[in-house]
Structure 1
Amino acid sequence: MTHAREAGIKRIRPSQFHGTVGLQDWRVLGEGACAYFRTGSFAAGARLVQAIGELPGVGSGHPDVDLRHEGVTVRLIAITDDYYGLTERHVELARRISDVARTLDIPADPSAVQTVQVTVDALVAPDVVPFWRALLGYRDRANSGEDLIDPHRRGAPFYFQHMDAPRPQRNRVHVDVWVPYDQAEARTAAALDAGGRLVDDADAPSNRVLADPEGNEACVGVAGWTGPDAGRP
């Protein structure tokens, strides 16, 4: 596996990606820049995937492409020994993919993308992480002893959050849902309308802690748009 810095690839933050003109189809989530294209049929989706595969230089961007009957999801993220995130290369690739979709008359739906992450609170993460790494068949994320990722990039990532003291009256595993920056308010409201309650919004809008009627917690997060960047990458 290569090193991002050694390969001369300039890293960028989510806010830089979102601040670039021509990327309105894309949203940065916890797992990179994502776009969803509503094809309406498997055949139309296959044509889009083929067109993406024929783009010049697409191999260097390593896009993850998920083809389903209803549409195609594309994720752009650099995964190297020392970096897990976005690079300048992804900006131009995202533009080209959107151009291809428009040529095929396939609309994008930025509201349809999301990333789900499982977070485990741990007193001593180095004692806990090896168990989950072996159990899941995952591997460490670049430069991190507290993040595990699926090497096949299919399963939800696991994050191990430091806990200063035991919390026997509170759950220690929760789900993080990363949504587009312009969907966070609506997603939070929907969860509250469905019986949830707001636990903590001190870090809003980048992160809100919610709980279901029995106290099981979940977080709604967004990656940076304006102000400080939030989340990973």
Structure 2
Amino acid sequence: MPPTITPPRPADLVERTARALARLRRGRLLHPAGRSFAGEVVVWDTPGPPTGVRLLDLPDRYPATIRLSKGTPTPGSWPDVLGLAVRVHRPTGRPFDLLVSSSAAAPVLRQLPLPRRRFAGTYSSIMSYRAGRRRLWLAALADPDAPDLGRDLASVARADAPRLVLAVASATGSWRPFGQVILGDQLDAREDAALAFDPVGNLPEELRLVGPLRWLRQHSYRGSRRGRGAGAQSGGSMGVTV
């Protein structure tokens, strides 16, 4: 009787493929070109109804690690899906890894990644979060009083104390600003290469990522991290694995 061959599970196939590609390119599978910075996240409070997530609703200040990147990457200032990753270092527990992509501000378009030339503009979580019965989207918006981030990664690194506004919204509601991301000193290339994010696992206790792409994101990011020998909480502005 011939042996039974069990086909690989879809999750294993995605993870193995991502791991092999990351190992082949010796770096990140997604958003390989970027600049990382030490910084700070300042939470004011949430205007209107609270979200039920303490980190978003209660005023506080947190050390942060911030990375701006190009998705493909295209040359120079060519259009690309731009990315912003923010690791909020909390006093206890896991950090909060917020990953947002260039998009539009309107309710329907905030759920789609949109290529653009400039690093200033709206970055949306694209996928939604659940906080109890609430469904939320998170975003980083341009701060009209902050320096322009420019059209390429070099101009981002040269900007003088850039910052972005953090905001939350429902599926059809307008963005409600609740805080600020402030970029500080740029990290060196070795620190940038070591930094790894986990947008599915590194979340506040009251928040979880949902939507049809959650599964794909979880396994592709895990495979990419393993392919380059990084952990889910590697790197960060504190100079150690947090």
Give 1 or 2: higher helix fraction.
1
TM-score by length of 2: 0.26
The structure showing larger relative contact order (alpha-carbon pairs under 8 Å, at least 6 residues apart) is 2
